[in-house]
Amino acid sequence: MTLLRLCTLAGSLALTAPALAQQGTKADAATLAKIKDEGLNRSKVMETAFYLTDVCGPRLAGSEGLARANEWTKKQLTDWGLTKANIEPWGTFGRGWDIDKSYVAMTVPYYHTLIGAPKAWTPGTNGLLKKSVVVVKATTEAELDQYKGQLRDKIVLLSVANAPKPSFEPDARRHSDEELKKMADFKPEAPTTPRPVDAEAEKRMADRKALMAVRTKLADMLVSEGAAAVLSSRGGSDGTFFTSNGAPYAADAKPVLPELEMAPEDQLRLIRLAEAGIPVQLELETRTRFQTQDLKGYNVVAEIPGTDKKLKSEVVMLGGHLDSWHAATGATDNAAGCAIMMEAVRILKATGVQPRRTIRIALWGEEEQGLHGSRGYVKNHFADPATMQLLPEHEKLAAYFNLDNGAGKIRGIYAQGNEAVAPIFQDWLKPFADMGATTVTLRNTGGTDHLSFDAVGLPGFQFIQDPLDYGTRTHHTNMDTYERLPADDLKQASVVVASFVYQAAMRDAKLPRKPLPAAKPEGRM
């Protein structure tokens, strides 16, 4: 309350850390300076990122890579002096899946190796296939029917929605001052305001649903018609392609064909040749491996114990998801976030901070399939959003901070509609104004694990990050690699996060919360 009032009064005055210390937060300027010094001058964040990406490898939910990352992070956090490091199951996920071989090339009309990767959870080809191709373009069931009898023993080529072309826009960018000001000025709509109907958006949604239905029917038809395999492409350019799953991860999922996601340049060449009536032959071999012994999903957690007798039972959490897609090492999605969160707790340990509250890091599993790790954790520890029956730990959580919007430095934080917390964050950002982190917005942001906390009325927040090339080049692609991590951005983010966590651990009161949401029996967030 003191801080809140102070902020309202202080307006745009730069509030120094010593002043903060006198106003009810026990964070002191000397510690903040130590955090910056450790994080900027003795950073280990790139070393951590190297281990998460290159050494552990792709970290698909349920894969061996994710298991390696779980083990490595647990050990590393322990080595840094954190306690209670644990690979904690959150519930049942589904089958594990790994790639043991992936090779595809055109052999007729001439030899050309193709760039692609198996879609997650698709089966292998059971040896080297040598087959001709057929192009299937269907947006309706009637169009699908025309392919009956033509697919047996063929490699099916599905169309590419958008062909690559010379790009006149840069891949990477940073938020402009104007964009940040717009975010800062954002006022949430009154919840009673009826939203105008967006007819175009509704039509797009309906079209997409119809297309998905055709795609599902196609998948069945490919199996029943005896096609050999599928090559598809969700887009990308320049050798970059987008990846996703080609089959459910559920242990009882029905069979599908081997399917690869392809660089659109290669896919389009095959399609153009086939459509011009030129015979095309491919050779294709994939070996994939399912793991059904352990269907559980896991999160990695570890703690820096609190030191204040009264407050140490309260917890400040920070986290990001450790799982990734499978065709790259998930550097920006989300080794970056995990490396930064790990670096933040390393910095806090290295600077000898004595936090009043307990600090707990969580590296989530199975985020990419629907925030499963964090949702499971929240349900096990805090509350099930379907019932909103609160567990005892619910009142102990002071805050949760998440990082999962790529590798760009922190420019501020989404207050997620929590008006009471905004001025606190504005204060906490002040020491980082010269490092580009200035903006608190009341806007919600979605798509990642803070939502699991927000859904049960806990104060969960995602930072605003510079977009860099996350949306254009790395997010869910085969090019989400270590190169995409700018060291200076990761170092900056590490010290901002360490400082926020420290502030939240030292503050007299937990962070203010929004009113508890109603139970959502259907489970939607």
Q: Which is nearer to its own copies, 16 or 107 (CB)?
A: 107
Shortest reach from residue 46's CB to its own copies, in Å: 11
- The two structure tokens encoding residue 269: 């060449």
Q: Which is nearer to its own copies, 279 or 521 (CB)?
A: 279
Q: Most distant CA pair in the chain: distance in Å? A: 79
Q: Which is nearer to its own copies, 117 or 498 (CB)?
A: 117
Q: Which is nearer to its own copies, 31 or 63 (CB)?
A: 63
Residue 472: which residues within 8 A CB-CB, separation 6 or more?
171, 172
Q: Which is nearer to its own copies, 259 or 469 (CB)?
A: 469
Shortest reach from residue 327's CB to its own copies, in Å: 9
What would the DSSP string read from start to end of 167-192? --S-S-B---HHHHHHHHH--PPPTT
Partners of 399 in the β-ladder = 316
Q: Which is nearer to its own copies, 56 or 398 (CB)?
A: 56
C-alpha gyration radius of the chain: 25
Q: Which is nearer to its own copies, 266 or 384 (CB)?
A: 266
Shortest reach from residue 159's CB to its own copies, in Å: 14
Q: Which residues bind its own copies (CB under 8 A)?
A: 50, 54-55, 57-58, 64-65, 68, 98-103, 105, 109-113, 115, 117, 163-173, 237-241, 263-265, 268-269, 272-273, 276, 278, 329, 407, 468-469, 473, 478-479, 481-484, 486
Shortest reach from residue 54's CB to its own copies, in Å: 5
Q: Which is nearer to its own copies, 235 or 517 (CB)?
A: 235
Shortest reach from residue 297's CB to its own copies, in Å: 20
What would the DSSP string read from start to end of 272-321? HHHHTT---EEEEEEEEEEE-S--EEEEEEEEE----TTTTTSEEEEEEE
Q: Which is nearer to its own copies, 111 or 149 (CB)?
A: 111
Shortest reach from residue 130's CB to its own copies, in Å: 13
Shortest reach from residue 102's CB to its own copies, in Å: 5
Residue 302: which residues within 8 A CB-CB, separation 6 or more?
74, 77, 78, 82, 83, 84, 85, 86, 345, 360, 361
Closest C-alpha to 27, from 346, 381, 386, 428: 428
Shortest reach from residue 36's CB to its own copies, in Å: 24
Distance of CA 478 to the CA centre of its chain: 15
Q: Which is nearer to its own copies, 178 or 189 (CB)?
A: 178
Shortest reach from residue 203's CB to its own copies, in Å: 29
Instruction: Say which amino acid occupies 230.
Output: V
Q: Which is nearer to its own copies, 115 or 219 (CB)?
A: 115
Q: Which is nearer to its own copies, 103 or 186 (CB)?
A: 103
Burial-class residue 343 by CB neighbours within 10 Å (0-12, 13-18, 19+): buried
Shortest reach from residue 444's CB to its own copies, in Å: 26
Number of neighbouring beta carbons within 10 Å of residue 152: 10
Shortest reach from residue 103's CB to its own copies, in Å: 5
Cα–Cα distance for residue pair 241/380, rounded to 1 Å: 37
Instruction: Say which amino acid occupies 443.
Output: R
Shortest reach from residue 520's CB to its own copies, in Å: 38
Instruction: Say which amino acid occupies 444.
Output: N
CA count, 13 A, side-chain hemisphere, 248? 10
E strands in 292-446: 296-304, 315-321, 358-364, 397-402, 410-414, 439-441
Q: Dihedral sign, CA of 120, 125, 129, 133?
A: negative
Q: Dihedral sign, CA of 293, 298, 303, 308?
A: negative
**What dihedral angle (degrees, nearest 10) is formed by the CA atoms of 446, 451, 454, 455?**
110
- Contact yes or no for 374/362 (Cβ under 8 A): yes
